[in-house]
Amino acid sequence: MPEEIVATSLLAKLRRKENYIFTGTSHLKHTPMKSTLSSLRHTTLVSLLLLISFSSLHAQQSKKEKEAAEATAAKDLLLSKSYVFEAQSTVPSGGKIKQLSYGYYMKVTGDTLISYLPYFGQAHAPTYSSDNGGINFTSTKFDYKVEDRKKGGWDIIIVPDDYSDVQKLYLTVFENASATLQVISQSRSPISYSGYVTAPKKK
């Protein structure tokens, strides 16, 4: 009969599209198929990957924002001439790295520069200052220049006009506020320091 042919065709389509298995002449039994399970696994995996990607992207964005904020803060300190270079280690010319105890620094506040740094190296001529062998002086007259580095960070060149033993101080500050300081002296071999730049402590 035509009606029986139509019914059989509908039942066949129902089995294919909705994963039903015909089990008799009057009722259907629902049975999950492998394709459905595979689809669910695929959907779950995609959702998990999207969640991981979103979390990773958010973390990277937060890191970039933090780095940008640190760079802006460091540059503001340098341009305002209000910061302290805290020395953590030193490398004498031709020597090995030496770790320093806390308390050695170079401080710039407006028109005043204060250096309190230890010295290790060779003297080319006797000094007659009361610096106790270190690079210890105060200058209120000095040239100060800030230059951008091509790979990020800044170079600061300081030339004291009222302390003859120090020719130049080269301070390199990176965007995360880590820094190196090289001191070129008239009577002693050059010496470098590593540390970081921070804002002066408020009294």
Distance, in Å, from the CA atom of 20 to the CA atom of 14, rounded to the nearest integer, reads 6
Token pair 């760079």 in the structure block, residue: 71
Structural domain including 31 reads: 2-70
95 and 66 within one domain = no
37 with 137, same domain?
no
Number of domains in the chain: 2
Residue with tokens 């007259």: 141
Q: Kindly state the average pLDDT of the residues 161-190.
A: 94
Nearest to 163 by CA among 117, 197, 115: 115
Q: Contact, 165 vs 134, CB < 8 A? A: no
Lowest-confidence range among 44-58, 145-159, 164-178, 189-203? 44-58
CATH number of the domain at 119, please.
2.40.128.410
pLDDT (tens digit per residue) in 31-44: 455 567 677 777 77
Confidence class for position 68, pLDDT limits 50, 70, 90? confident
Q: What is the pLDDT of residues 3-31, one digit of tens each?
A: 444 444 544 554 554 444 444 444 444 54
For 141, the 3-state DSSP assignment is: coil
pLDDT value of position 126: 60
Q: Which of 185, 64, 62, 69 has its CA nearest to residue 122?
A: 185
Strand 112-117 to strand 105-109: parallel, antiparallel, or no bridges (unpaired)?
antiparallel
Statement to judge: residues 38 and 7 lie in one domain: yes
Q: Which of 26-35, 50-59, 64-73, 112-121 has the highest mean pLDDT?
A: 112-121
CA distance 122 to 119: 9
Check pLDDT > 50 for residue 166.
Answer: yes
Sign of CA dihedral 78, 83, 86, 87: positive
Query: Would you give the distance in Å from CA 158 to the centre of its chain?
Result: 26
